[in-house]
Structures are given as C-alpha cells and as structure tokens.
Chain A
C-alpha cells in the first residue's frame, strides 16, 4: 500500500470495522464487477421466473413459424422477438427456459464439487500422511485427463440426462476446490492460533471446522464462482454434442447445435443462445474477478 512499512496507514480502520464489510465496500467500488453481478442476477431471476416471463411455451412447435426471423427483420413478428427455430419454437422462450438448465447445472456442480473439495482438501491438508498421499495422487491423476474428453467418456457410459451431466462434471470438478483448500489448509495449520487451539485441548475436528475452515473460505468461494463459468461452458459443450439434457428440454448448447445446419440462411437460431452463453459466462467471470480482488489482495499483481 505504501512504500514504507509500519506506517500508520496500516493501522486498524475504525470506520469500517468488519473484514467482510470492507471487502464488500471494495467490491462495490468496482463498477464493472458490480454491473456484471447485476447481469448475472438478471439471468438468475430469468431462470427462476421463466414460466412468468416466457412469452410462449418453449416446447410447442408450430411448423408455420419454422425458421421465422427475429421481429425486426422482414417476415418477423413482434410476438416472437428473437424468431423461431427449425421446429417453429420461440427462441426467446427457449433461451429463458434454457437459463434454468445452465444455471442449475452450474450451481449444482459447483456446490457439490466445492463441498467434496473442502472435505477432501481439509483432510489432506490437515491430517497429512497417507490421507494426503491418497487424495493428492487421485487429484494428480484426474488432472491428467482433458476435462471435456473425460466428461464425454463418462456421459457415454452413463447415458445422457440432467443428473448424469451433473455427476460427470462433479467427478472432476471437485479437484479444483480441493487443491485450493489443501494449499490454504497447509498454510493455515502452521499459524499460531491453530497451535493455540491444540494447546487448549481442541480436537482435530474442531480445529478443521472452527479454526481453519472459516479462514480459508474466501478464496474457496472466489474460485468456485470462477469455476461456475467453466462448468456452464462445459454443460453447453456437452449439450452441443448431444450428450446433455435430452430434447425437447431447452438447453443453450443444444440450441446452438440445432441451428448449425441453417447457420448460413437462418443465423438467429444459433446466434441468440450463443450470445446468452457469452453474456452469462462473461458476467460471472468479471463479477468473480471483482470478488477476487475484493476478497484476496494476494491476487493483486
């Protein structure tokens, strides 16, 4: 912060007296991140209230409206703002419903993976010994596989479906929070307050859950948010390849794939779901970077 150590600028800030509130204040100062967070929030609201927002049933086909262009183009209709796909389904409604899949898969995978990662990472980092060896080796092996190919293989074995997609992604996703948690735990367990808790007679469980975990949660949350964007892309990729949620359920990746055949004449079929993926992923990425800057000053370069 300053060129000089032990300057009083480093002294406790009496106005903003909670670490969390200070972090949130830093986050709020970052306009771009805040804007992105709003975009993400809008997507979430869109997913939650899809039945109330969507102008049409996403699965109703209407062959008369086959490949109908967006409203502002010739042949468009303002009731079908973004046009229709090859089966005459309203693209806007399908995007709105598709957000449910993307966000649900993203959130579920990250939530499950982070929970597993925290437990495994804490155990490896705190207990060390053979527990650490086993967990670290598994992590190394999993990291050796290309993510998408690994997921494709699993999906091929388990068959498509919402639960399977989540499982296929969780199989590898937990490795990321696990490594973060293990690293942070290794650093934190050496701190004197952990030693103090042991000196007071605290059990390993108490130390892991009450002394270490609350102090390593910020970087884990930050990493998990960043990973959510990756997971959404992976889900879209699997759906694009036909390994995702089965038709007719709307999913952005599958929608992009559907439009592939008509991309030259009916560009809107693939483009609008593509833009939806882009906006959501970009929004999450920028917001999570703001979160990272606010929570973890070590990332500052």
Chain B
C-alpha cells in the first residue's frame, strides 16, 4: 500500500488530521457534543527524490490540510511524516526549526502570503536570517539578489513593497522566499490557481526550471487536472480526506479506475474538440465534512454505488504498476467513461 518507502524522500504514514470545534463548559453542561471534522483520514504515500507528486481534489477535500500537516503548520492528529529518514512529527522545536530549512511551502494567494509591511529584500532575506545561513549583511544581500534574479525579478525591485507588484510577480517573490534557504522538498499549495492564464504558464515554467536547476522535489497541490497532468510524475486523487486513487500520471490519465477520478476528468472543459469526451454527470454537492457519509465516502454522488458502498468503506487495492485505488467495484472493470466513447 505504501509506495516505495525505502527510496522515498518523504514518507507519509497513516496521517490523519482532525479539527475539534469549540467545546467550553456551557457546551459540556448542556450535553452538546464537540464537533469534529476529519479533514485528512489515514493517508499514506511516499514521494521519491526529484519527483513531482500531484495531489488533486476539489475544495474542502483536505488537500491543503494534508500539505500543511506534512510541514506541521497544522499539527497532525495521528500518523507519521518521515522526511529523509527522520520522523518529523516527533521533533522538538529546535530540531523542527532546522528541518524547516529543508522543507518549504509556496502558497496559493500571492496577496495574502506576503507581509505588506516588508520589502522584497526583507521577505526573501528572512529565511537566511532565521537560520543564520549568511555571515554578513552583504553576503545575505548577494544571496537575496541572486535568488530574486533567479525567479525573474530585478534587483531594482528589492526595496519595494508587495503591493507594488502584480499577482504573478508576487508569486515569484513567494517562490524566492521558499527557495532561498536551498530546501529539498517543496509543498506547492495551488501556486498558480489565483493567477491569469498567461501568468500561470510563466509560473509553471519557472517552477519546472527551478526544479531541474536546484534538484527539488515537489508535492504539487491543485484542483486543475490540466496542470497536474502536465507537471506531475505521479498523481494522488483526494476525496473527503482520503486518497481514493494514486498512480503514475499516464495510467491515471489514460485509465482512471475510481469513479470519482473518472468523473473529475470528464468534467474538465477541453479546448481541443478532438479530445473532448462525454461527461459523467455527478449529482449533488460535496457532502459536509462535519457528517461524512458512511461506507465509501463517495457513494452519495457515485453513479455506480451499490448497497455495499453505503455500508462498508473500501480498501485500497493495487490495480497496476504503482497504481492503486479504493473502490468496491474495481474488479468489475466498470468505467463511466466507456459507454460514451461509442
């Protein structure tokens, strides 16, 4: 079930994250139950060095929470995150701080992720300062200049404030900040979804170039199948806190096995008339994570749901080389995409 744990740079083992609602004395006395939202439940996967693992899912499926739990920006409720042989979840503050230099994150919102009162030089220079990576201010400045130029900005930009930049340029600042400490692993949390199409392409190009140049490993979180399909080596599909399907990008794109993956892929509007496929109509909305469905969490929207799906959660099974899925009807070889091809 766990992919190549031995060679993985990052190995996530049965990670869960549960958010607890407020539960004060008054709530307790009135017998109200504490609300619990299981944002991530029992997720396991590995990321090999130099790989891009694409994590796809709709809003509220827990993909961002998963990314942040790995970095312990949100403390995981259960499970282990092993990075380069070290269990990150067990580290004390000092060791964790040192580890943060090696694991970084690029955020979605280029407006909210930069402190409006700091100049570009201060923002990009912060990791160097925090980790004492440079000895003199000139050395720090040189590093910052080099990094800023690497992401396509000019050194003349250094003393400006974030609001003086466009969305795409701000995202470049965020990338420079994440990479200036020479990390090995980056969580890219929807880094292009807030950007315009032409700018999106620039940032994707930049991220691919930087990965080559600096030997990075990405966990690339997105809701956009096109971006994930273009970039990733492997893809994991999340639905309501669980990974329902995971495998090499080719087999996910050409032969998705889980009905959710199939409907997700059929829903993407396609520019080329040639590739356009018939649409799987999903009914209804994403169920509330406050009261997730019993059994298979997808059964409320699944066109293939049968009785057992309502009662029992499916186990993850191997369906191909490095390809796994969790569905009761896998071996029936049903596909939502087939009948329309004719």
Direct contact of A and B (CB under 8 A): yes
Total chain B interface residues with beta-carbon distance under 8 A: 32
CB contacts (< 8 Å) of A202 on chain B: these are 126, 130
**6 A-B Cβ contacts within 8 A?**
A193-B114, A199-B100, A200-B181, A201-B96, A201-B100, A206-B130
Which 7 interchain pairs have the tightest Cβ spacing? A192-B113, A201-B100, A201-B97, A192-B112, A214-B117, A193-B115, A192-B107
Known: A192-B109, A192-B112. A199 touches B71 (CB 8 A): yes
B215 at the interface (CB under 8 A from A): no
A192→B109 CA distance, assembly (Å): 8
| A2 close to B (CB within 8 Å) | no
Residues of chain A having any CB pair with chain B under 8 Å: 12, 14, 17-19, 191-193, 195-203, 206, 211, 214-215
Q: Which residues of A contact B163 (CB under 8 A)?
A: 12, 19
Taken together as a complex, chains A and B put the C-alpha atoms of A201 and B98 apart, in Å, by 7
- Contacting A211 at CB < 8 Å: which of B68, B73, B115, B165? B115
B115's nearest neighbour on chain A, judged by CB, is: A193
Q: Which of B108, B113, B160, B161 has the most CB of A within 10 A?
A: B113
B104 at the interface (CB under 8 A from A): yes
B247 at the interface (CB under 8 A from A): no
Cα–Cα distance between A195 and B65 once the two chains are bound (Å): 13
> Which residues of B have CB within 8 Å of A214?
115, 117
By beta carbon, the residue of chain B nearest A14 is B164
Are A195 and B107 closer than 8 Å at their CB atoms? yes
Which B residues between 87 and 136 are near A, CB-CB below 8 angstroms? Answer: 96-98, 100-101, 104-105, 107-109, 112-117, 126-127, 130-131
On chain B, the residues within 8 Å of A18 by CB distance are 161
| B177 on the A face (CB < 8 A) | yes
Q: When chains A and B are docked, how far (Å) is the Cα of A201 from the Cα of B165?
A: 26
- Residues from chain B with a CB closer than 8 A to the CB of A195 are 68, 73, 105, 107, 113
A215 and B116 contact, CB distance less than 8 A: yes
Contacts of A19 in B (CB 8 A): 116-117, 161, 163
Taken together as a complex, chains A and B put the C-alpha atoms of A91 and B116 apart, in Å, by 51
Tell me, yes or no, whether B174 is within 8 Å of chain A by CB: yes
Contacts of B96 in A (CB 8 A): 201
On whether the beta carbons of B114 and A199 are closer than 8 Å, the reply is no
Apart from A196-B177, A201-B130, 19 more pairs, CB < 8 Å: A12-B165, A19-B117, A191-B112, A191-B113, A192-B108, A193-B113, A196-B107, A196-B113, A197-B115, A199-B73, A200-B100, A200-B126, A200-B130, A200-B177, A200-B181, A201-B97, A201-B101, A202-B130, A214-B117
